[in-house]
Structure 1
Amino acid sequence: MTHYVAIIEDAGPDYAVGVWFPDLPGCTSAGDDIDEALRNAPEALALYAEGLEQDGDELPRPRTLTELRADPEVADDLKTCMVALVELPVRAHAAE
């Protein structure tokens, strides 16, 4: 199973909850609340993986939380936002 670290941004009750993946630029998800945003996240991963495959590109290796903490572009977000591991659906990476 392949899992990617997701950063969850909750801007309050008047806004959607956003989910983004530091290892996958442009791969985002959202929902009306945290639970919905996390339920939508695997589909976002699958669509992202399918798009890369169609373009002939490979899915980047997921970094560990320790590796992400060492990345200055992500470290502050890890301190201020919630984090979750999101599994890439099997159909999206069956060729691995």
Structure 2
Amino acid sequence: MTKYLIIYEKSLDGYSAYVPDLPGCTSAGATKEEVTENIVEAIKLHIEVMRESGYDIPEPNSESETLVFA
């Protein structure tokens, strides 16, 4: 199973999410649960369209790290 990193951003009216390894794959939702459901569907559709268009599917290579500054 391929696992892609999802970046979440909170805004005043909800959440947005994007996948760094799949340029253009983004979604939004009112709650984190909603945006998670939406981005999972967006990933599936994004990969499907890439396959149908003859593009290579990128392997995940993004990493995350949380830094704390005091």
TM-score by length of 1: 0.62
1:65 to 63, 66, 69: 63
SS in 2 for 1:58: coil
C-alpha distance in structure 1 between counterparts of 2:18 and 2:53, whole Å: 21
Structure 1 residue corresponding to 2:24, chosen from 26, 38, 48: 26
Partner of 2:5: 5
Q: Deviations over 1:44-77 (max 9, x none)?
A: 00000011011100110001416xx6xxxxxxxx
- Structure number with higher helix proportion: 1
Percent same amino acid among aligned pairs? 36
Report the residue type matching 2:34 in the other structure. Answer: E
Moved over 2 A (4+): none
Aligned length: 67
Higher relative contact order (CA 8 A, sep 6+): 1
Q: Deviations over 1:71-91 (max 9, x none)?
A: xxxxxxx76xxxxxxxxxxxx
**Gaps in structure 1 of 5+ consecutive residues:** 70-77, 80-96
Could you say what secondary structure the match of 1:29 adopts? strand
1:36 aligns to 2:9 (yes or no): no
- 3-state DSSP class of the match of 1:23? coil
5+ residue gaps, structure 2: none
TM-score, scaled to structure 2: 0.83
